[in-house]
Amino acid sequence: MVRPTSRPTRHLGTDDVVDWIRRVGLGRCIAQVAERIEFDFLRWPDFDKSARVACHSSDGVIELMPIADAERFAFKYVNGHPVNTRAGLPTVMAFGVLADVATGVPRLISELTLVTAIRTAAMSAVAARALARPGSRTMALIGNGAQSEFQALAMRDTLDIRALRLFDVDPAATAKLAANLAGQGLAITVCRSTAEALRGADIVTTVTADKQRATIVTPQMLEPGMHLNAVGGDCPGKTELHPQVLQRSRVFVEYEPQTRIEGDLQQMPADFPVTELWRVLAGSATGRRSADEVTVFDSVGFALEDFSALTVLHEAAQRLGLGREIDLVATPTDPKNLFGLLHREPAAHMIATQALTSATA
Amino acid sequence: MVRPTSRPTRHLGTDDVVDWIRRVGLGRCIAQVAERIEFDFLRWPDFDKSARVACHSSDGVIELMPIADAERFAFKYVNGHPVNTRAGLPTVMAFGVLADVATGVPRLISELTLVTAIRTAAMSAVAARALARPGSRTMALIGNGAQSEFQALAMRDTLDIRALRLFDVDPAATAKLAANLAGQGLAITVCRSTAEALRGADIVTTVTADKQRATIVTPQMLEPGMHLNAVGGDCPGKTELHPQVLQRSRVFVEYEPQTRIEGDLQQMPADFPVTELWRVLAGSATGRRSADEVTVFDSVGFALEDFSALTVLHEAAQRLGLGREIDLVATPTDPKNLFGLLHREPAAHMIATQALTSATA
């Protein structure tokens, strides 16, 4: 019998994830995650799926997103607090865990804020590749915040998008996006409204953050053959598309039970027809049927995408030696003698700590 | 505006938790958690509660247990794999997180295996104090594994239990428990069967681990006025009490929707009457009605108990300076410019790492 290591869990912080992205290249990271998402979506029935658990408050939401196959259990902790930016904090912060189903041992705990942006962009690219009109070259990008660069680069690399039409209610966000994308091979047009940005666009990506029912895209703005990549309508009471936009489109979703609650789909009757994307990828459902059809990917972010991203990240961490061991769960020498942990010799640093502080507590 | 610190999360590992327990004293740790559980149970309606999310496999279960009040969100990751001990791993491993509801920032991530044993024992003590016959001095302790010492000490300190009658199918487990409890002011009798152990006991604690329907306690073993603290029947298909034991008792639970699925209660019809313990603590429901009545606390472990324990632990960590900052979630300088994280100057250790490894990935 092989004794387990005393600290079986690897920890990746922000610097480690940044290290991964720099060494592999952002485009290649997105492509690897997209490839893994497709692989995992094609074995959809293998997963134990559930809608995420959400804790809503007046200013935001905290969610846990668990999923498992026969070998690995994964979950992500993620918040969404649009008010945070006023306090210098990100709207979205995330971390995730990958564990062995057979033993429950957590193998990886990682910062996932950057990875969430990567996997969301990768998911959008997988959906757009399956649903957008061939030859799409221009994308409108509405909402130019934290996730917008990732969406732009994923679409450039996956679909050969060459032109972006940008709009955000905050011109500083657009200026930041344009600056970050300078020299990346994308022709950029800054627009003064959503309607202007959508004119002539093949793909429309909405990635706005306000936690409210908003109508970013109205039916009047639609053009034949558009593909809408609706990312920002992703929790109850938070939408981006006018209901008639959905009525005039064919709507594709990740995991139907979750999207009915959280997506733009929440505005529609319970029997409004949608197609789960994995069926299109697997060839068991039809995607786009004509060049004139409007398609919508009502993306809310599903746990399986984080499972895929964590799997890619874990493999990269092992290959590149990223991160470090972390003492996340106790592994006593004698597993039936948890109490015995209290009587082990303390580690040297603890003796030092104890010497420096009084025993009164 | 105060800039948030770059690493707002504190991490406690096993050594830190051990440090806490040694400096405060195990008895006092259990007492503090018990006090906090009572405080939190008395404000039961303040919490956003849900049954835990469980991922079951052939050999075990991995669970996420979220809960929140208006200020704090907490969750615990915990597994249950009885087969693990054969591989030198604990049956139960756990860690937990405490976060701010207003912003989603995780404030604490801590090892919780030891703390789970403490909070389970504290919960048992709170329930026994409310339900057991006054003057109870003898406890039968069936199942002498990892949690048994904590149960014994909690009952000693809270109810003045002075005698223990021990039984486990594994004599080595009983020997370990007896050795660990030597000199702790408890008269110990090692018994050869559950029936023998129960003879003359005022309180019966069952804390067995097999993941199957077991019948540890049968109706023939009951004596008038016993209080049963049934801890080990805590997931679907895992029970300890014969159904007739429940029929002949008054049954108290933590959170009814969860216990109906997971507790010994899973064997009973959906309308079998139970009382949530918080109502007894709050005085809105009757506990024990006579000295002859048999009471059962069908404990499965509820997220609120971990919330209480994490709160006590967080306060102790701040007071005693336990643990360290951890880079769990990214906090970019400009929260709308997540992409900008990729172009910050790398930390010194990363430059060193990069110099040592090739750029191929």
DSSP B312: H
- At residue A193, the pLDDT reads 97
Give the CA radius of gyration of chain A: 22
- Report the relative pairing of strands A106-111 and A187-190 from DSSP bridges: unpaired
CB contact (8 A) between residue A342 and residue B18: yes
B264 vs B251: CA distance, rounded Å: 10
CB contact (8 A) between residue A330 and residue B111: yes
Query: Does the pLDDT of residue A237 top 50, yes or no?
Result: yes
Spatial neighbors of B48 by CB under 8 A, at least 6 apart, are A55, B67, B68, B69
Within 8 A of A73 by CB-CB distance, chain B residues are 55, 62
Query: How far is B265 from chain A, CA to nearest CA, in Å?
Result: 25
At residue A103, what is the residue type? T
CB contact (8 A) between residue B316 and residue A113: no
Q: Which residue of B has its CA nearest to A93?
A: B329
CB contact (8 A) between residue A87 and residue B103: yes
CB contact (8 A) between residue A113 and residue B338: yes
> Which of the pair, B330 or A115, is modelled with greater confidence?
A115
Query: How far is B315 from chain A, CA to nearest CA, in Å?
Result: 11
Q: Which residue of B has its CA nearest to A20?
A: B361
Helices B14-24 and B303-320 pack at an angle, to 10 degrees, of 80
- Could you report the per-residue pLDDT of A55-91, keeping only the tens digit for each? 999 889 999 999 999 999 999 999 999 889 888 888 8
Per-residue pLDDT, averaged over A140-145, amounts to: 96
Domains annotated on chain A, with CATH = 9-114+305-343 (3.30.1780.10), 134-301 (3.40.50.720)
CB contact (8 A) between residue B93 and residue A75: no
- At residue B344, the pLDDT reads 66
Within 8 A of B85 by CB-CB distance, chain A residues are 335-336
- Residue among B220, B205, B209 at smallest CA distance from B164: B205
Rounded to 5 degrees, what angle do the CA atoms A67, A68, A70 make?
170
CB contact (8 A) between residue B353 and residue A19: yes
DSSP B238: B
CB contact (8 A) between residue B338 and residue A23: no
CB contact (8 A) between residue B1 and residue A87: yes
Query: How far is A98 from chain B, CA to nearest CA, in Å?
Result: 11
pLDDT confidence of A337, banded at 50, 70, 90? confident
B153 vs B175: CA distance, rounded Å: 17
Within 8 A of B361 by CB-CB distance, chain A residues are 23-24, 28, 316, 319-320
CB contact (8 A) between residue A62 and residue B48: no
CB contact (8 A) between residue B80 and residue A104: yes
Q: Which residue of B has its CA nearest to A329?
A: B111
Q: How many C-beta atoms lie closer than 10 Å to residue A206's C-beta? A: 26
- For B29-87, give the DSSP string: HHHHHHHHHHHHHTTGGGSB--PPEEEE-SS-EEEEEEEE-SSEEEEEEEEE-GGGGGG
3-state per-residue secondary structure call for chain A: CCCCCCCCEEEECHHHHHHHHHHHCHHHHHHHHHHHHHHHHCCHHHCECCCCEEEECCCCEEEEEEEECCCEEEEEEEEECHHHHHHCCCCCCEEEEEEECCCCCEEEEEECHHHHHHHHHHHHHHHHHHHCCCCCCEEEEECCCCCHHHHHHHHHHHHCCCEEEEECCCHHHHHHHHHHHCCCCCEEEECCCHHHHHCCCCEEEECCCCCCEEEEECHHHCCCCCEEEECCCCECCEEEECHHHHHCCEEEECCHHHHHHHCHHHHCCCCCCCEEHHHHHHCCCCCCCCCCCCEEEECCCCHHHHHHHHHHHHHHHHHHCCCEEECCCCCCCCCCCHHHHHHCCCCHHHHHHHHHCCCCC
- Residue among B168, B202, B234, B298 flagged as catalytic: B234
CB contact (8 A) between residue A88 and residue B1: yes
**pLDDT tens for chain B, residues 1 to 361:** 334 445 789 999 999 999 999 999 999 999 999 999 999 999 999 999 987 888 999 889 999 999 999 999 999 999 999 889 888 888 889 999 999 999 999 999 999 999 999 999 999 999 999 999 999 999 999 999 989 999 999 999 999 999 999 999 999 999 999 999 999 999 999 999 999 999 999 999 999 977 677 789 999 999 999 999 999 877 788 899 999 999 999 999 999 999 999 999 999 999 999 999 999 999 999 999 999 999 999 999 999 999 999 999 999 999 999 999 999 998 777 777 889 888 865 443 333 333 333 333 3
Query: How far is A221 from chain B, CA to nearest CA, in Å?
Result: 27
A216 vs A193: CA distance, rounded Å: 10
CB contact (8 A) between residue A113 and residue B353: no
- At residue B337, the pLDDT reads 85
- Could you report the per-residue pLDDT of A154-176, keeping only the tens digit for each? 999 999 999 999 999 999 999 99
Within 8 A of B13 by CB-CB distance, chain A residues are 326-328
Please state, rounded to an integer, the average pLDDT across all residues of chain A.
Answer: 90
The partner residue sitting opposite B331, judged by closest CB among A89, A149, A331, is A89
Task: Select the residue from B67, B176, B341 to test the A interface by mutation, using most A Cβ atoms within 10 A.
Answer: B341
The partner residue sitting opposite A350, judged by closest CB among B19, B79, B91, is B19
Spatial neighbors of B45 by CB under 8 A, at least 6 apart, are none
- At residue A52, the pLDDT reads 82
Establish whether A234 is a catalytic residue: yes
The partner residue sitting opposite A95, judged by closest CB among B102, B329, B359, is B329
CB contact (8 A) between residue A62 and residue B73: yes
Per-residue pLDDT, averaged over A198-203, amounts to: 98
- Residue among A157, A168, A234, A306 flagged as catalytic: A234
% pLDDT > 70, chain A: 93
Within 8 A of A332 by CB-CB distance, chain B residues are 90
- At residue B349, the pLDDT reads 35
Within 8 A of B326 by CB-CB distance, chain A residues are 11, 13, 326
Within 8 A of B183 by CB-CB distance, chain A residues are none
Per-residue CA distances from B130 to B13, B17, B70, B126, B248 (Å): 33, 29, 28, 6, 19
User: Is ipTM over 0.85?
Assistant: yes
A240 vs A228: CA distance, rounded Å: 11
- Residue among B163, B45, B125, B116 at smallest CA distance from B302: B116
The partner residue sitting opposite B342, judged by closest CB among A26, A93, A103, is A26
Query: How far is B125 from chain A, CA to nearest CA, in Å?
Result: 18
pLDDT confidence of A152, banded at 50, 70, 90? very high
Query: How far is B113 from chain A, CA to nearest CA, in Å?
Result: 6
- At residue A230, the pLDDT reads 96
Within 8 A of B357 by CB-CB distance, chain A residues are 23, 320-321
Q: Which residue of B has its CA nearest to A102?
A: B59
A-B CB pairs within 8 A amount to: 288
Query: Does the pLDDT of residue A279 top 90, yes or no?
Result: yes
What is the greatest pairwise CA distance in chain B?
Answer: 76
Per-residue pLDDT, averaged over A135-144, amounts to: 97
Q: Which residue of B has its CA nearest to A319?
A: B361
The partner residue sitting opposite B338, judged by closest CB among A48, A146, A347, is A146
Within 8 A of B111 by CB-CB distance, chain A residues are 327-330
CB contact (8 A) between residue B93 and residue A85: no
Query: How far is B215 from chain A, CA to nearest CA, in Å?
Result: 22
- At residue A6, the pLDDT reads 59
